[in-house]
Amino acid sequence: EIVLTQSPGTLSLSPGERATLSCRASQSVSSNYLAWYQQKPGQAPRLLIYGASSRATGIPDRFSGSGSGTDFTLTISRLEPEDFAVYYCQQYGSSPLYTFGQGTKLEIK
Amino acid sequence: QVQLQESGPGLVKPSQTLSLTCTVSGGSISSGYYYWNWIRQPAGKGLEWIGRIYTSGSTDYNPSLKSRVTISVDTSKNQFSLKLSSVTAADTAVYYCAREPPGYHYYMDVWGKGTTVTVSS
C-alpha cells in the first residue's frame, strides 16, 4: 500500500499570504495519478487538482499543483477567506486502488 | 450537470448489514464510461476508499473491507449501492458516493453530499 504523508498537519496563515502544502508518498506515484481535494466542515471533498498539476473545472488560478515521484505540492498563491479548509492529496495505483493523505488543516492566523 | 445523492438508514445495529444507495441525476449512469465509487470518513478523520463499480458490473474493493463489501449497480434506476456486512462501531462514518471519469488520470470529480451512518445498538 502506498502511504501518503501530508505536512504540516496544521498551517496557520493570514489572508493574502502564500500557502504551501506537501504530500509525500512512500513509493513513487505517477503524476497522472495524484490529485488534491479541499474539504470544508460539513461538506464533501471538492476536486481541486488532478494529474498533479491540472486544475479542475472552475478552480481559481491561485491554486496550483506540482511535483513528481514521491514529492508533491499544492500551492495557494494568495489566500482568500474561503480557502481556509482541510486539504487532502490522493493517489491511484497500488492496492488499495485509492489512498488519501491524512489531511492538512489550513487555518486563519 | 450530474449530481449524486446518498440515501439509507442513519442507524445500523452491530453485526447487521449497512445498505446505502447513490442516485445519479442529471445524466445516465450507463453513459460515459465512468466508474462509481464509495468513500467513507469517520468523524474528525481522513478519507477511506471503499470500492468502485463500472456500469458493466465489474468491481474493485479495498482489501481491508473486501470480505464484507458488495457494490452493485441498477442502471434502470440510475443507482448504485453499497452493502457492508457484520458492521461494528468502527464502521460509523459519513459515507460518500463519487464519480470517477474515464481517462489517463484517476480522481473523483463529482461527489454526493454524504450520509452519516452510526453503528449502535
pLDDT tens sequence across B50-59 = 999 998 899 9
- Quote the pLDDT of residue A21: 98
| Mean pLDDT for all residues in chain A | 96
The answer to whether A64 touches A78, Cβ cutoff 8 Å, is no
What phi and psi values does residue B37 have, to the nearest 5 degrees?
-115, 155
Decide if pLDDT at B6 tops 90. yes
From chain A residues 45-64, the ones with a CB under 8 A of any chain B CB are 45-47, 50-51, 54, 56-57
Question: From CA B103, how far away is CA A12, in angstroms rounded?
Answer: 36
pLDDT of residue B55: 87
Mean pLDDT, range B34-53, rounded to an integer: 97
Q: Is the pLDDT of residue B19 over 90?
A: yes
Rounded to whole angstroms, the Cα distance separating B82 from B90 reads 17
CB of B109 less than 8 A from some CB of A: yes
Phi, psi at B89, each rounded to 5° = -60, -25
Peptide linkage before B14 cis (omega within 30 of 0): no
Does position B87 have pLDDT exceeding 90, yes or no? Answer: yes
Least reliable range by pLDDT among A53-57, A95-99, B13-17: A95-99
- The minimum CA-CA distance between B110 and chain A, rounded to whole Å, is 8
Contacts of A45 in chain B (CB under 8 A): 47, 96, 108, 111
- The answer, yes or no, to whether residue A5 has pLDDT greater than 90, is yes
pLDDT at residue A51 greater than cutoff 90: yes
Q: What is the pLDDT of residue A3?
A: 95
**SS3 (DSSP) at A56:** coil
- Tell me what pLDDT residue B31 has: 86
Q: Which helix (H) or strand (E) segment is A10 a member of?
A: strand A10-13
Interface test with A, best of B99, B105, B110, B113 (most A CBs within 10 A): B105
